[in-house]
Amino acid sequence: MGKRQRDCVECGASVGIIGRRHCCRCQNRLKEAALKATCPNCGKQRVLRDDTGRCITCSRICITCGHPVRAKDTTLCRDCARRARQQAAQQPCPRCRRPGYLRDGTGWCGPCSRPRRPKDPPRVCTECGQLRRHAGFGLCSACWQSRPERPFNAGDNLLARLAGPPPWLGDLIGHLASGHSPARACNMIGDLGRLLEDQHSNHPQALLERARLPGRSMGPLARALETFFTDRGLALATDQAEQLAAGRRRRRIDAVPEPLRPAVESFNTFMLRSRERARRAGTLPRSDVTIDGKLSTVRDLAKLITERGKQDWALVEVHDIEAFLNILPKGRSRRLTITRQFFRFAKAHKIVLVDPTRGLSAKATKGFTGKILTLDQQRELFRRWTTDPAAHPHEVLLGILALLHGASSNEIRHLRIADLDPLDRTIRLGQRPHPVPMDPVSWTVLQRCLTHRQIQRTDNPHVMVTKGTKAGKTPASIAYVSHVLDACGISPRTLRSTRLVDLVNTMDPKLVAAAFGMSPEGVMIYLADHIDPTREAALPADRP
């Protein structure tokens, strides 16, 4: 012990070290106090750990729930440890695949092992009379779902639920119920209710826009609403058709290889602009189908040119165009016309300097070169359509009218109930100036188609009504009609051509043109270069 230097400033004990104001005890106490701080968890003055920022007690926590644990080497609190032990004892149930304690008796988990309440024994359905499981009101599930009053009940519930139901809602529910099966109508009324109850406007146009589904089809509810609202003048038709056409054009342009694409893009803009101009001027505007066809041809040409190693429209030569036209010899004149149009546009817009299609010519002959049917083939088809009950009424109608009256598939598509005259037994076909008189066979076929239409219970004014159009007012789709004759492997065009070639070659072409509402030039195509072998044989052999 050294010499006492002074008294401790705090406790008065002796301080032995020169220059120090506290005794060694107070010195130690102060040193310890300086290390301590308030623990953020328990609020006590403790030494805080660097890794956790808490005191040692508060640093020992459960790794799953964060609850404090006592012992130094424990990682889980009491509850979590118990849960972990339980989980370890569980095994996946072979029946429901969820983890559980498998019971010895069944080998399944508890809920699966519990005996079920047996289902009620099946009853005789009061509607269909079959012994089936009971769904409600003494009916089986199928009969319960197809009760015709279901959509009206759903509609009444919806009307009662809405604070201010729109005035047209009752009519709309009637429209949905009459045009669809009860199950479909109920689904649509459910969707309609969700739209009417949200915070947005319930104006017909706004409702119609909200009912549209994204994608290529706008959905059955939007289609039904469009028919209903446009019929009553409550809303304008949607732009679905234009959107679909724009999508088709986009896909065709996107398929053009990158360096050639900008020219096709501006060709498309050019065609759309001239269509707009034609609409305003009242001249004949290009249809969507025409523009699609042109873009497809230019796209195919662009692909071929890229395959031949050219990256610029300006490098295209007449050989490239020849090679392109030779791929499809039958479509030569059509494809040449389109190619020529494209290069004329390209030259006018300085995309190319020389038009590579300049020296090319379409085939010299303009006559009809398509397929026609022999008499035997016609007889066989006629027999099929008049005697075979398995042939679909639409197939028979299109087949017979095309074969006997030269009807085009478009004329049949647009044939309406109002075009039929049962008294005179005539029909109005397309743009033909005079009603077409029906022979007994055609009339029978037409009646068969009308019976088929009656089964469909539709409000659609057309004769040919499909599953997709029976709830609306539009004619059957082009795609549907083009496949109607698939069963007999003949295209409607072949049948019509057969009839036209026959008529033009046996009668005055001018009469045919007048009867079919065609231009004389259109009819003359069928006259060119055709000699009927049977007529040739009937000619007197010793003629000079």
124 binds Zn ion (CB under 5 A): no
> Does 83 interact with Zn ion (rule: CB under 5 A)?
no
User: Which of 49, 67, 232, 279 lies at the binding interface for Zn ion (CB under 5 A)?
Assistant: 67
96 binding Zn ion? (CB under 5 A):
yes
Cβ proximity to Zn ion: between 12 and 359 the closer is: 12
Exposed e or buried b for every residue in 104-133, given b needs 16+ CB within 10 A? eeeebbeebbeeeeeeeeeeebeeeeeebe
Unique residue bearing structure tokens 């008065």 = 12
Smallest CA-to-CA distance from 419 within 402, 438, 406 is with 438
User: Looking at 127, 191, 209, 288, which residue binds Zn ion (CB under 5 A)?
Assistant: 127
Residue 265, H or E segment = helix 261-281
Query: What's the closest the beta carbon of residue 9 comes to Zn ion, in angstroms?
Result: 8
Beta carbon of residue 476, minimum distance to Zn ion (angstroms, whole number): 33
DSSP secondary structure string, 269-319?
HHHHHHHHHHHHHTS-PPPHHHHHHHHHHHHHHHHHHHHTT---GGG--HH
In the complex with Zn ion, the residue whose CB is nearer, 67 or 457, is 67
d(CA 262, CA 331): 26
Q: Is 143 in the site for Zn ion (CB under 5 A)?
A: yes
User: Is residue 253 within 8 Å of 243, Cβ to Cβ?
Assistant: no
Using CB under 5 A as the binding rule, whether residue 218 contacts Zn ion is answered as: no
Q: Which residue's CB is nearer to Zn ion, number 56 or number 507? A: 56
With CB under 5 A as the rule, give the number of residues binding Zn ion.
27
Placement of tokens 């750990």 in the chain: 49
Of 33, 37, 47, 65, the one binding Zn ion by CB under 5 A: 65
Closest approach of Cβ 379 to Zn ion, in Å?
48
Query: Which position among 140, 185, 207, 295 is part of the footprint of Zn ion (CB under 5 A)?
Result: 140
Q: What is the 3-state secondary structure (H, E, C) of 377-420?
A: HHHHHHHHHHHCCCCCHHHHHHHHHHHHHCCCHHHHHCCEHHHE
The piece of 125-133, 235-243, 294-302, 423-431 that touches Zn ion (CB under 5 A) is 125-133
Judged by CB under 5 A, does residue 42 bind Zn ion? yes
Applying CB under 5 A, does 62 fall inside the site for Zn ion?
yes
- The least distance separating Zn ion from the CB of residue 38, rounded to whole angstroms, comes to 9
CA dihedral of 15, 17, 18, 22, whole degrees rounded to 10: -40
Q: How far is the CB of 431 from Zn ion (least distance, A)?
A: 50
Q: Is 391 in the site for Zn ion (CB under 5 A)?
A: no
The reply to whether 112 sits near Zn ion by the rule CB under 5 A is yes
Report in angstroms how near the CB of residue 186 gets to Zn ion at its nearest.
18
Distance of closest approach, residue 29 Cβ to Zn ion, in angstroms = 8
Measured N-to-C along each axis, helices 261-281 and 288-307 cross at an angle, to the nearest 10 degrees, of 160
**Least gap, CB of 14 to Zn ion (angstroms):** 9
Q: Which is nearer to Zn ion, 50 or 258 (CB)?
A: 50
Interface with Zn ion by CB under 5 A: which range of 47-55, 184-192, 290-298, 502-510? 47-55
Residues facing residue 15 across a β-bridge: 6
CB of 51 to Zn ion, least distance (A): 14
Location of structure tokens 């006559």: 367
Let me know: does 462 contact 476? Beta carbons within 8 Å: yes
Does 11 bind Zn ion (CB under 5 A)? Our answer is: yes
Whole-number minimum distance, CB 77 to Zn ion, in Å?
A: 3
**Amino acid letter, 507:** M
Smallest distance, Å, CB 46 to Zn ion? 6
**Which of 58, 396, 415, 495 is the binder for Zn ion (CB under 5 A)?**
58
294 Cα distance to chain centroid: 24
Distances (CA, A) of 354 to 260, 313, 317, 345: 17, 10, 9, 12
Question: Can you read off the two tokens belonging to residue 236?
Answer: 């304008």
The least distance separating Zn ion from the CB of residue 467, rounded to whole angstroms, comes to 24
What's the sign of the alpha-carbon dihedral 410, 415, 419, 423?
Answer: positive
The pair of three-digit structure tokens given for residue 216, joined into one six-digit string:
């290529």
Give yes or no for a contact between 229 and 204, defined as CB atoms under 8 angstroms apart.
yes
Contacts 24+ apart (CB under 8 A), 5-10: none
Distance between CA atoms of residues 15 and 5, nearest Å: 6
Q: Residue 96 or residue 246: which is nearer to Zn ion going by CB?
A: 96
Position 109 contacts Zn ion (CB under 5 A) = yes
Interface pattern 13-32 for Zn ion (x via CB under 5 A): ----------x--x------
User: Is the CB of 36 or the CB of 250 nearer to Zn ion?
Assistant: 36
The verdict on 47 binding Zn ion (CB under 5 A) reads no
Using DSSP bridges, classify how beta strands 123-124 and 99-100 pair: parallel, antiparallel or unpaired. unpaired
Q: Closest separation between CB of residue 107 and Zn ion, Å?
A: 10
Return the residues of window 449-488 that contact Zn ion according to CB under 5 A: none
| Listed ranges 73-81, 150-158, 187-195, 518-526: which one lies at the site for Zn ion (CB under 5 A) | 73-81
d(CA 373, CA 125) in angstroms, rounded, equals 55
Give the residue with the Cβ less far from Zn ion, 109 or 484. 109
Contact between 125 and Zn ion by CB under 5 A: the answer reads yes
Q: Does the footprint of Zn ion cover residue 80 (CB under 5 A)?
A: yes
Task: Choose the binding region for Zn ion from 55-63, 195-203, 262-270, 391-399 (rule: CB under 5 A).
Answer: 55-63
Q: Does residue 81 interact with Zn ion by CB under 5 A?
A: no
Q: Which of 248, 222, 249 is nearest to 237 (CA)?
A: 222
- Reading the block at residue 427, the tokens are 């029909």
At 59 the three-state DSSP class reads helix
Interface with Zn ion (CB under 5 A): 8, 10-11, 23, 26, 39, 41-42, 55, 58, 62, 64-65, 67, 77, 80, 93, 95-96, 108-109, 112, 125, 127-128, 140, 143
